[in-house]
Amino acid sequence: MNQETKIYPEHDHLVSRHNVVGKDGVLWSADQEVQDAVGGHYDYRAVDGFFLDGNRQGHVLTQNNSPEFVAQMTYRGEIANANFTPIGSFTELFARPHERVLYIPYIRLQDPEFPNANWISYGLPPEVTHRAKNKRIFHEWLANAGFAEHIPNFVATHIDAVAERGKQMIEQVTNLYHEAGMQNYPVGLMIRGAECDGNYGAVVLKQDTIRIGTFCPEKQKILLMPDGKSKGSEYFDDWESALKAATTHIKTSMDIEKEPNVLMTRLVELERSPGMAAVMRRGIMHCLEWNDQWKAQDETACTGTSSYRAMYGMDEEKLQQSQILFTEIMGKMMTNTPNRESVYAMFNIDLMMVSQKEDELWKDPTQILISFHGTLM
């Protein structure tokens, strides 16, 4: 049995799509300008979803026929010893005499409607995907499903309430650190639209000490990092000004008529942030090992992956703990999924390996949980 047969259900033809934009895309609730700017860069990555044995042809669903795109398809086909062919639409696809088409979207938010076509969608069911992808819904679900101790303290709110609710949250964070005797823990927030992806439109706010000039005294400032990047960063004198600027930045990236909610999380000090992929076959989940998340210096967005074991080695005990936790979370999320035995999917979760300082903070988990989930959520 080859690798492709193990991962995929039975099929006769593969069609992949990197659906970043559109009503069924990753950035469905983003501002149109953001969708246009991001979407054009990702079409060719549709082939990343293929696991081919070299004997089959794969179609890429796209309307991009630029020379750059064709060159990428040719290049990636040569690497995989396969033939990747662009196809323009579902209508064109299902007009062809394929027996069983396996459709592999980058993310399965909704299935195309072709009742007379013989096709199968790969990926988690849309209702599960939506719950896991929407940051507000996912965090609230985790908190209520018994996983509150595995997520940062958070506040979900409307975008127009960020300044007010953010100030309240900063007060809580500051008091939390003071009561724990950890005044040296950096105070900060990560603020993202509920449907934010890849940190497009996200903001990191962090209290920072800076010195302007050699002989000037140090000053406390609030650092704002747009899209989680150091490029374009600004300093503010107070939290109110920083939160208002954060609101403005986030609003420019989201369509608030589609999704007006924002998630604010306490900025947590991390040692590393590995990813973990899993394969689901016939509804049974198989966790893989950690993968390393490449990030540019002083940035939070992942730009690539590599082998974690090769770079850092592996803490087998923590690996096993994270695999068990991931399996428990997905098991609860799919409790009421009909025909679970028919689900084939591959998905990834980002893990947070916290610092010793954060571990110290959790010595009294009742205090850290009640402070946030009991009052502001």
Predicted local confidence at residue 312, as pLDDT = 66
How far is the C-alpha of 183 from the C-alpha of 180, rounded, in Å?
Answer: 8
- Amino acid identity, residue 282? R
| Residue 52 half-sphere exposure toward CB, CA atoms < 13 A | 25
In terms of domains, do 254 and 209 share one? yes
Q: Is 320 a domain residue?
A: yes
pLDDT greater at residue 159 or residue 73:
159
Predicted local confidence at residue 42, as pLDDT = 67
213-259: per-residue pLDDT in tens? 666 667 889 999 998 777 889 999 999 999 999 999 999 888 888 88
**Whether the Cβ atoms of residue 73 and residue 47 lie closer than 8 Å to each other:** yes
Helix axes 316-333, 126-133, angle to 10 degrees: 120
pLDDT greater at residue 190 or residue 217:
190
Domain boundary among 239, 261, 283: 261
Q: Is the pLDDT of residue 67 over 70?
A: yes
Q: Is 223 a domain residue?
A: yes
In terms of domains, do 241 and 282 share one? no
The total number of structural domains that make up the chain: 3
Residue pointed to by tokens 């795109």: 69
In terms of domains, do 106 and 16 share one? yes
Burial code (b: 16+ CB inside 10 Å, e: under 16) for 22-38 equals eebbbbbbbbeebbeeb
Backbone angles phi, psi at 83, to 5 degrees: -115, 110
Q: Is 133 a domain residue?
A: no
In terms of domains, do 254 and 288 share one? no
In terms of domains, do 27 and 117 share one? yes
In terms of domains, do 33 and 98 share one? yes
Q: Is 134 a domain residue?
A: no
Torsion of CA 107, 113, 114, 116, to 10 degrees: 120
In terms of domains, do 170 and 257 share one? yes
Q: Is 362 a domain residue?
A: no
String of DSSP letters for 210-276: E-SSTTSPPEEEEEEEETT-STT-EEESSHHHHHHHHHHHHHTTB-TTT--EEEEEE---EEE--EE
pLDDT greater at residue 4 or residue 308:
308
Q: Which domain holds residue 291?
A: 271-354
In terms of domains, do 284 and 223 share one? no
Q: Is 80 a domain residue?
A: yes
Average pLDDT of the segment spanning 88-114: 80
In terms of domains, do 284 and 349 share one? yes
How far is the C-alpha of 103 from the C-alpha of 50, rounded, in Å?
Answer: 11
In terms of domains, do 296 and 226 share one? no
Backbone angles phi, psi at 222, to 5 degrees: -110, 120
Of all residues in the chain, the percent with pLDDT exceeding 90 is: 37
In terms of domains, do 27 and 73 share one? yes
Pairing of strands 345-350, 275-281: antiparallel
Task: Cite the beta strand spans of 20-94 per DSSP E.
Answer: 57-61, 83-87
Give the confidence band of 4 by pLDDT, cuts at 50, 70, 90. Answer: very low
Q: Is the dihedral of CA 156, 160, 162, 168 positive or negative?
A: negative
C-alpha angle 269-272-273 in degrees, rounded to nearest 5: 100
Record the pTM: 0.85
Q: Which residue(s) pair with 16 in the sheet? A: 60, 104
Domain boundary among 238, 261, 284: 261
